Structures are given as C-alpha cells and as structure tokens.
A and B are shown apart, each in its own frame.
Chain A
Amino acid sequence: MNAITEHNALTEPGAAGFLHRFEGLRARLPGRDLPWLQSLREAGAASFREQGFPTRRVEAWKYTDLGPLKEAGFGEALTPVDSAIPLPRAAAPRRVVFIDGRFSPELSDPDAPVRSLARHLDEVEGLLGSVARHEGVPLAALNTALFEDGALIDLAPGEDGGVVELLSVVRADRPVALHPRHLVRLAPGAKLVLIERAWGHGESRYLHSPVLEFQVAADAHVTHARLQQEGPAGIHLSTVFATVAEKGTYDSFLLHAGARLARAEAYVTLAGAFSAAHLNGAQLVGDGQHADCTTFLDHAAPDCPSRQTVKTVLAGRSRGVFQGKIHVHQIAQRTDGYQMNQALLLSEQAEIDSKPQLEIYADDVKCSHGATVGALDETQLFYLRSRGIPEAEARSMLIEAFLLDAVETVENEVARAALSEAVSGWWQRMAA
C-alpha cells in the first residue's frame, strides 16, 4: 500500500481555513453514519464559526496570543500511519500509541484498557460531549467538529486500570493540525493512572489540540499526569474537562516542557460531596517559548477539598502564564481550597503573568491562595556555597529542586518518575 494516500493541504490561514476543512471532510470523518454524532459535529462547527479563535480581547486570553496559529496554514496528517519513527522510552509498563492522532495497534500494548475511539463510536452516544462544552471554549468546539480518533477508556465498577501511558506522537515534518479526542470514564470505585504524553518528532510547525473528557464516578480515583513534550515549533492547545462525583478524585499534574506556544486549559467540576481535585503543575519555559496553564475549578458540592500548586521556571526571552479560577458555589459549604503559584525568573527578559481568581458564594469556606515571583533565594544559595558547592552548581541544584518539589505532589511512583525524568532532562539541557 502506498504510504501516502491523502494529503489535503490547508493553505487558508485562520478560523476560515479550519471551517473549510470541516466542509471538505464532514462526509468522511469517522461516525458519519451516526446521526447523533453528525449533529454534534455540526454544533461544534457552528459554535466555532460563531466564536472563532480567541483574541487577546477575551479576558481569559489576555496573556496568550494565538497569532502564530491564525497567521499560518496547517494541513492534514498523512494516512496511513507510517510506524517506523523513533519513539521515546516508555514511561509506564503498558503503553498505547497514537501517531498523528491515529491509534496505532501494532505499537500499542493489547493489555492496556484503551481502545480507539474512532472504532467504537457506536458505544459513546450520550458520553461523548457530555462533560465538554463548546461555549467559551472554541478550541473544544473545533475539536468536536474535526476529531478523527483518540483514546477510549471505559472502566467498569471497581476496575483497576493500572498505570497506562497514552503517547501521542506528532510527526512534525510538515505543518499538520491534529484534534484528537480522548474519553475517559470511570465507573464507581474504578481506578486509573494515566500518563498522557504529547511528543513531537521533527522541526516543523504544527498544531496539536487534544480534548480530554473525564467522567469520574463516585469513589473512583484517576491520576492524570500530563507530559507536554511537543517539538520546538509546535503549538499545543489542549483542553481537559472533568466532572467528579461523590468521594471521587481527579488528581492531575501538568508538565509543560516543549512547544513554541503551549496552553493547557482544564475545566474541573467537583459535582459530588467529598470529591477532590488536584490541579498541580510545572512549566519549563526556555528562550523563545510561551507556556500557559489555565484552570477553572468549580466547587459545586459541599465538603470538597482542592489543591493546586503550579511552578514555573522561565529562562531567556520567554513568557509564562498561570490563571487559576476557583468558583465556590453557594451550596459548596465547607470547601477546603488551596492554591499556590510560584515562578522563578532566570533572566531579565522573562515574564510571568499570574492571575489567581477566587469567587466564593458559600459562607463556610476555607480557601487560601498565594503567589511568589522572584529569582533564587540568596540565603539558600549562600547555604549551599558555604558548604563548598560552587555557585553554578548550587544554582542548578536549587532550580531543579524548585521543580522537583512540585513533582513530589504526585503520589503514583511511575507517574512521578516519568515527570521527574522529564524535568531533570529539561534542566540539564538548559544548564548545559
């Protein structure tokens, strides 16, 4: 079979180009014979047509400019997938691999509880799109219109899905645009550790814009470790939607360690009493890069704890953004919220924009938040040097420690090791 059977160039830049792509593809996208899905896609396209790509006039996009996305054209990925590309070392014993957004059965562990969404669309009516929303999230609307494949994880009551790596490889040898859709449903009492990794191979610009939907039932527990390691010219715009029922936990850690422009948004709703959310993260931002961690946390039930610590290290001419909104509904009495955001600026050309936002409508609530921005602590530096450790080495130790301290919040050892390795690797490359 010919390795290249299809390549629709998308030369028209901006939102119009993506809408034209939808017009061209709609009859061929997976699930075209499913009326509910067709109308969902139409709704997504209509919503995106109405909203367009966000501009900096939109409050939530004040600090992140999608100019690089709007000005360039992006094409479709080639099919079928050519598997002969080098993969990073596996982060977990079981791994499933998507290449250019498409499931690769030959590279994936058949024992992993992950299936191709494209091949099981008949099972997800009522589930797909039930947690995500389009309004105010144009990238999610676009994703609904255009997604071709993604992971489907559907755990039965009490099932332990173990530790699974979900690796999305982008062959960045041409300017492709990918919109994978991943669905994760945990029935009551189910457990899962998902290491979601975006990995770019190549120097080309491209867009990788996944949407993940998590439905976490009562007493279910999911750890979601995200490693964003896109290629140097890649644009990563991801959106996570999660809803958590009574006594369930959504425990996430976002690591931005790649891409030219990256923004990860998370919309998490604590919908049942005593449910919990951890929205931790670390952003490693080098010269010429822009990284953004934006979260919206809805405390919509009483007695829920939430924890958020996000650390950012910025080097060279770079920009980091942290926006963390916590909305405590009137019903959410005895909410216990904690938010901390810390940035370390290693250069005078680096910039961090930090916007914590607490909206509290309940009266019996414990919510604290804090932010620090600065250079390295001189007292800590002196302490190390007074023990004979040379200044450069002491600085390096403190920077790595700042980041690894954030990763320490991840309880699962496999996920923590994968994140630590990515952090140390990044810092060692930077320090070299």
Chain B
Amino acid sequence: MLKIEGLRAEIEGKEILKGIDLEVPTGEIHAIMGPNGSGKSTLSYVLSGREGYEITGGSATFNGQDLLAMEPEERAATGLFLAFQYPVELPGVGNANFLRTALNAQRRAKGESELDAMQFLKLARERMRALSMPEDMLKRGVNVGFSGGEKKRNEVLQMALLKPSLAILDETDSGLDIDALKIVADGVNAMRGPDFSSLVITHYQRLLDYIVPDRVHVLMQGRIVQSGGPELAKQLEASGYASVEAA
C-alpha cells in the first residue's frame, strides 16, 4: 500500500505540497481531483522521483519501503509507474528498443531472465492489439510524431508491459477524445486486481465514469481538503471546486 504522511515539497523555494496525508490500500484505485495549480502534478513527480523538487517534510512509503530515498529507476523496479501528462518524445530511440530496454531493466532488477527480441515482439504485439495500436508504432521513435491519443496509448502500453503494482496516472485523460479515453480506461481496468493499486489524477470527472475509483480525494492548495466515495466526483462536477473552497 501507498502511505503518504505530512508530505511537503517545494520547487525553487515555493512550497507546493503543504502536508499531504493519503493512503491507497493495495487493490484500490483512488482519484485525486483538483483545480489547476493545486499540486496534482507535483505530487506525481515527487512520488516518482523527478529532480528539481525539494522534500521539506513528511514521508511516502510503498509497501513499507521509503520511496523518497530511492532513485527513479529503483522506484520503478519496486512496481511504481507514472503515466505522464505530457509523454516525452525521444527522437532516435526506437519505441521497440525503448520498451524492451525498460522491460528487461526491470526484469533484471527483479532477478528474472531478460526477453530476447522475438519473445519481446510477441508480447508487445499482443498488448498492442488490446489497445488498438498499429504495429508500426513500435518502429517509430518514442512518441515522435504521435498524436495526443497515440502518446497516451503508448503510456498505457508501457504500463501493460511493465505490470506495475502502483500506477500513477497524471491527467491521462487530457487531450483525449471519447474513443481514446475508453481505450485508455479499458487498459487500466484490465490491470485491476488484488495486487494493483492506482492513483488517478484528473481535473475532470469524465475519466472516472470509465475508471470507477474506490475513493476520491480533493487536492487544493497543496492539501487534501476532502475525501469521499465515487459520488464526490459527481458532486464536484455539478458544483465546481469553488463549493469546496467555500466549505
């Protein structure tokens, strides 16, 4: 389970996270909703280990391990996965090479045998079919020339291959039309199970019609200000974040 206690973080001297408390038990999907600038993306970056953020207080553990003390690749190897809001383009790095290198790095870290090119291709093709991804996306540079929807599907493909036990989806719904949204949601729902948890970060309620969360938390000005069941998302959609602020 993911356990965050009193987490504070700043960037360039400006405090963004002002004491976050959050628990995501194993097997559950939690949503974090909040207006722009509330600290949603910062939370996802701090948890996944991006440089440039200073942790000024609190803790974050995953299955008892201190996440904040680990390198990003170590966090990945313990099962954490971040689906980026803006997936990064890597010109010159072939998508297949990237996916296989990542998969094998994690397998190595877990003491498993690496997949050769043929084994990998078979697996990747299978996963891609499930995501309605054309096979030529394997040959192209990572995210280079991909449409917004293709980039997000490529994130979900990575998740499907790496099989994380904790996936943080950072505004994965942004820039997606309804068909792409369904495909992405199906990809996440396919991962659901007793060993998989997820933190779904979103601005809008729409995604949560397709990925129904166990709990919804509202993040405002660097703090969780309200928590509730899936109905909280609908309330927010109807009354807006201002109503929470007023409360």
Task: Report the separation of the CA atoms of residues A380 and B92 in the bound assembly, to the nearest whole angstrom.
Answer: 12
Question: Which B residues, 38 to 82, have Cβ-Cβ distances below 8 Å to chain A?
Answer: 48-52, 71-73, 75-77, 81-82
Task: Report the separation of the CA atoms of residues A397 and B100 in the bound assembly, to the nearest whole angstrom.
Answer: 13
Which residue of B51, B75, B81, B84 is within 8 Å of A383 (Cβ)? B84
- Interface presence of A61 (CB below 8 A): no
* CB pair A393 B92 closer than 8 Å: no
> Given A378-B51, A382-B50, A397-B93, do A388 and B106 touch, yes or no (CB 8 Å)?
yes
Residue on B nearest A390 in the bound complex, by CB? B73
Give the residues in chain A near B242, CB-CB below 8 Å.
none
Residue on A nearest B50 in the bound complex, by CB? A382
- Interface presence of B105 (CB below 8 A): yes
| Interface Cβ pair total, 8 Å cutoff | 77
Residue on A nearest B83 in the bound complex, by CB? A386
- Interface presence of B88 (CB below 8 A): yes
From residue A270, how far is it (CB to closest CB) to chain B in Å? 28
From residue B211, how far is it (CB to closest CB) to chain A in Å? 21
19 CB contacts below 8 A, A to B, read A378-B51, A382-B50, A383-B84, A384-B98, A385-B49, A385-B71, A386-B49, A386-B50, A386-B76, A386-B81, A387-B76, A388-B102, A393-B101, A394-B73, A400-B92, A401-B92, A403-B92, A405-B91, A408-B92
- Interface presence of A127 (CB below 8 A): no
From residue A147, how far is it (CB to closest CB) to chain B in Å? 39
Given contacts A384-B90, A387-B102, A389-B102, 11 further A-B contacts (CB under 8 A): A380-B88, A380-B90, A382-B51, A383-B87, A383-B88, A386-B76, A386-B81, A387-B106, A388-B105, A388-B109, A402-B92
Task: Report the separation of the CA atoms of residues A384 and B90 in the bound assembly, to the nearest whole angstrom.
Answer: 9
From residue B141, how far is it (CB to closest CB) to chain A in Å? 8
Question: Which A residues, 367 to 416, have Cβ-Cβ distances below 8 Å to chain B?
Answer: 378-380, 382-391, 393-394, 397-398, 400-405, 408
Majority SS of interface residues in chain A? helix
Q: How many residues of B contact A (CB 8 A)?
A: 30
Task: Report the separation of the CA atoms of residues A405 and B158 in the bound assembly, to the nearest whole angstrom.
Answer: 23
Residue on B nearest A394 in the bound complex, by CB? B73
- Interface presence of B162 (CB below 8 A): yes
Give the residues in chain B near A401, CB-CB below 8 Å.
90-93, 141
Residue on B nearest A378 in the bound complex, by CB? B51
Task: Report the separation of the CA atoms of residues A71 and B84 in the bound assembly, to the nearest whole angstrom.
Answer: 57
Give the residues in chain A near B88, CB-CB below 8 Å.
379-380, 382-383
Closest 6 CB pairs of A and B: A401-B92, A405-B92, A388-B76, A387-B102, A385-B72, A383-B88
Question: Which A residues, 332 to 382, have Cβ-Cβ distances below 8 Å to chain B?
Answer: 378-380, 382
* CB pair B105 A390 closer than 8 Å: yes
Chain A 10-54 interface 0/1 with B at a Cβ cutoff of 8 Å (1 = within): 000000000000000000000000000000000000000000000
